[in-house]
Structure 1
């Protein structure tokens, strides 16, 4: 039987509540094979004007968390526990009608693939104008003018003309800019970006990241930025939350997590990244094994089957006790604080350079 323990002497919360406050969130899906525990006991906060980067392998629960914030789940097959509070409004218990008023207005999302998120049957301008008209009561003329304005803000050349085009007439980078324009058209307080630069080349990716930072400065939005790329996180985020198998395993500011990571999974992510100054013939160092099935996750620490340091923990605590995240700067690991500092300094940091 697995028991739940707190680590580093702190409660499982994250400190003072932010503009977006998620507390002990659990999301389970009923499938033919059993119940998938997609998110399990997740807590975090995001402040206005700050960006939280959520990083982890595919299947770690990043996207599910943020789709749940938006209420984009099937209520017939999904069970949600915990709290999601946005600017004082509880979202878990909100009705679909209430969520429709919030989506695109107070909270908006930039999806990973704009080609599937944009309708091929309507012009880009119309698709940007419609949410603005719906939430503000603006006329068609006002909505169209707002769409052209937003296309200009995101750097689309000749926006008045390009607003009349269809998504297939835009390049990949331009479609992503159009998605950002659509997300920001109602000046949302919270923007969720789900791997918005994954399919773009490096130059366009840098332009999109700079654009998001500029628009955040202009609108003052809180941003949740989902990615598997720690390099993007380093450039984009103020704070980082590392997720593994549906739970958070480490949290802190960008400098704290990237300069002095405390969890073996974060060490593995950093160690598996290619470096520009490394020997090109040297093999990468992937994390051994695969993420666990969320139908039957491992007991204790969910990372223990892949962890190279579990033998440094006395007894079988890694197998029997599940470590949870403390507030603010913390990691969910049974290694002592001194062990974490020593292992990083002597074994991990020299590999990272």
Structure 2
């Protein structure tokens, strides 16, 4: 059975005066309908570049893209920019990281949802406005009939994120990409947004990609997890496997740097020392070279100390399936 989204050996490079920036370098993963993939990694690891590549937003720019992106049986890298543009919004959509900058400040929230809907549907503005009000109500905006005429700056941070979700879902996309959907939101609003995304995914049976550096968000939503470092995949597998039996030292570091309820309160969190490598001069082999304290500190990260994650020496990442 072919996956709904199948990415094979994706490479996205950007030529610069200093050299070629290998933002994404050989990424492979797949995603079924109704499932959620969490892509985790620190800033600069290639998470957002991957999502923009899937949406075709690098086409026409200076980016050099190679590999394959199959969406419901259609290959997107070799497709024309016009064809990908027709798919964007209807077949696939994205919730951008900062809704205040992603939404146009001079147009009302309703007008922007109406525009997105009418691009893909031959309906009157009146019908599109009714649909926009309905979508705002479904994502939990109070009094959507009046708030549809508000501007983005009149919404709170959580309401802007909800409005961005309403815009992304206005055409019932089969693939939804959420880039840091809960950034800069307080804990209560974060929980509401995550619950909303989970409920809407069930309703639309969408394939969902959640891009984040927050392992709590990933644990809440994801069926599978892909860990990125230096533009490459360093670990990929089922969420339970990655959390309880990680194989790569970078994953150990991520898990060791987050608070856990099953740890003693006196146990200190262990930050990952150093900086990510330059994507212009990526070292050969694995780009992540863990310091000795990290290698020792990962003991007990797994479900039990007898797991493969509880060995002193770093192990190579598990093989990423290449799909059919």
Whether the TM-score (by the shorter chain) exceeds 0.5 is: yes
Note if 1:344 corresponds to 2:309.
Answer: yes
CA distance in 1, matches of 2:183, 2:294: 33
Contact 1:123 1:163 in 2 (8 A): yes
Aligned to 1:160: 145
Contact 2:226 2:237 in 1 (8 A): yes
SS state at 1:155 partner: coil
1:236 counterpart (188, 204, 221)? 221
Larger RCO (alpha carbons 8 Å, 6+ apart): 1
Contact 1:17 1:45 in 2 (8 A): no
Aligned to 2:168: 183
Give the C-alpha shift of residue 303 in structure 1. 1.2
CA distance in 1, matches of 2:252, 2:260: 15
Give the C-alpha shift of residue 284 in structure 1. 2.5
1:139 counterpart (124, 143, 151)? 124
Question: How much is the aligned-residue C-alpha RMSD, in angstroms?
Answer: 2.2
Aligned to 1:193: 178
Q: Gaps (5+ residues) in structure 2?
A: 297-304, 314-324
Note if 1:227 corresponds to 2:212.
Answer: yes
Aligned to 1:149: 134
Q: 1:342 to 1:276 in 2, by over 3 A?
A: closer
2:112 counterpart (115, 123, 127)? 127
Aligned to 1:203: 188
Aligned to 1:25: 10
Give CA deviations for 1:250-272 in whole Å, capped at 9, x if unaligned: 11111111111111110110001
CA distance in 1, matches of 2:308, 2:71: 39
Give the C-alpha shift of residue 282 in structure 1. 5.3
Q: 1:260 to 1:281 in 2, by over 3 A?
A: closer
SS state at 1:121 partner: coil
CA distance in 1, matches of 2:59, 2:266: 47
Name the TM-score, length of structure 1 as normaliser: 0.82
Contact 2:21 2:280 in 1 (8 A): yes
Note if 1:84 corresponds to 2:69.
Answer: yes
Give CA deviations for 1:161-205 in whole Å, capped at 9, x if unaligned: 100111111000000000000000000000000001011000000
1:254 counterpart (239, 244, 248)? 239
> Which shows bigger deviation, 275-284 or 33-42?
275-284
Aligned to 2:288: 303
Aligned to 1:5: none
Name the TM-score, length of structure 2 as normaliser: 0.89
Give CA deviations for 1:41-66 in whole Å, capped at 9, x if unaligned: 11000100000000011111111001
> Which shows bigger deviation, 85-94 or 45-54?
85-94
CA distance in 2, matches of 1:137, 1:68: 28
Note if 1:270 corresponds to 2:255.
Answer: yes
Aligned to 2:317: none
Q: 1:264 to 1:47 in 2, by over 3 A?
A: same
Note if 1:35 corresponds to 2:24.
Answer: no
Aligned to 1:101: 86
> Which shows bigger deviation, 272-281 or 16-25?
272-281
Aligned to 1:49: 34
CA distance in 2, matches of 1:85, 1:303: 29
SS state at 2:178 partner: strand
Aligned to 2:278: 293
Contact 2:158 2:185 in 1 (8 A): yes
Give CA deviations for 1:84-123 in whole Å, capped at 9, x if unaligned: 0100111101212111111111000000100000111111
